Amino acid sequence: MRWNLRMVAAERGIWKSSELRRQLADAGLEISAGKMSGLWTGTPTTIRLEDLDVICAVLNCAPSDLLIREPDKVAARVPQESKVSTAESSTPPAVTPRLGNRRSTPPA
């Protein structure tokens, strides 16, 4: 997923992170300068759902406007071996039980 806050804010005439931060504070959401910087530059580490709700209310948008799906990146993360094996066989591999007691003894 890609974070799209800056573009959505620009579409609403907000060009500076400090301006958005001020509007969020007016709506009851105090964000530190560091966290605002991460949100603005597109590299947020985490965001609470309550905070996302306030951001959407201030920008008059939906969460889907701020979060852009990137299915190509998801597909690229799947290992090539797994793509081949899934394509070749439609049945899952058989599960075989292990016999015997293979547990280690407790420490003395």
Q: Parse the chain into domains and list their residue ranges.
A: 2-68
Instruction: List the CATH code of the domain at 2-68.
Output: 1.10.260
Residues 33-75: pLDDT tens digits?
999 999 999 887 789 999 999 999 999 999 999 988 888 877 7
What's CA 71's distance to the chain center, in Å? 13
Label residue 97 by pLDDT band (50, 70, 90). Answer: confident
Higher pLDDT, 104 or 53: 53
Gap between the Cα atoms of 22 and 26, Å rounded: 6
Label residue 82 by pLDDT band (50, 70, 90). Answer: low
What's CA 84's distance to the chain center, in Å? 28
Per-residue confidence (pLDDT) for residue 108, from 0 to 100: 67
The pTM of the full predicted model, rounded to 2 decimals, is 0.66
Per-residue confidence (pLDDT) for residue 52, from 0 to 100: 95
Task: Identify whether the C-beta of residue 62 lies closer than 8 Å to the C-beta of residue 69.
Answer: no
